Amino acid sequence: MDIVRNADGTLVVPLQRERQHRTDDGSDASNDAGDGEAAPTGEAPTTRLLHPGEGGYDEVLAEWDRQQNPDRAPVVSTATGRHEAMTLVHAVATSPDHAVASAVKAIGDPQASGEALRHVLVGGVHSVEDFAAQIAEAEGGDPLLAHETTKIIGEVLTELDK
């Protein structure tokens, strides 16, 4: 099962099933409550919903992006691409109608901007926080929260991949 990105930025992530360990007598050790009683067995969830800002969200978003184009070469960020990516994220964040499509159309090198944004995601939450601080320094204003920045990056990457 692949990671699914919803329109609101949430990610549906498949969960790995825990391995069941057998005891010497062949019974399932995970069902032993320790008092001779069997613990309740229920089907564990197979997916988890991650919201922007939750632990692991940035890494899962980077993995989702890799799923969209598995043949893509490793990401490389250039100075020009990073500058345009900062301008792009700032434009979306300050747009009254959150206009992602028009902000993407306004940049000169969408491919380089996308690569820079992917590079930020691969770096994890600290990379996203640093990127948000650089945007605030370059464009003015207060830094965006990491989860807001990550959500905008996901929206921009979705638009760039259209």
Structure confidence by residue, pLDDT tens digits, 39-96: 445 566 788 898 887 888 888 888 888 888 788 777 777 888 899 999 999 999 998 8
Q: Which ranges in 53-109 belong to alpha helices (H)?
A: 57-68, 79-94, 100-105
Percent of the chain with pLDDT over 70: 82
Tokens, residue 43? 């089907």
Structure confidence by residue, pLDDT tens digits, 15-33: 876 666 565 565 555 444 4
What pLDDT, on the 0 to 100 scale, is given for residue 123? 84
What pLDDT, on the 0 to 100 scale, is given for residue 113? 93
For 11-152, where are the E strands, in sequence order?
11-14, 47-50
Rounded to 5°, the CA angle 108-132-119 comes to 60
Structure confidence by residue, pLDDT tens digits, 133-151: 999 999 988 999 998 999 9
What pLDDT, on the 0 to 100 scale, is given for residue 45? 73
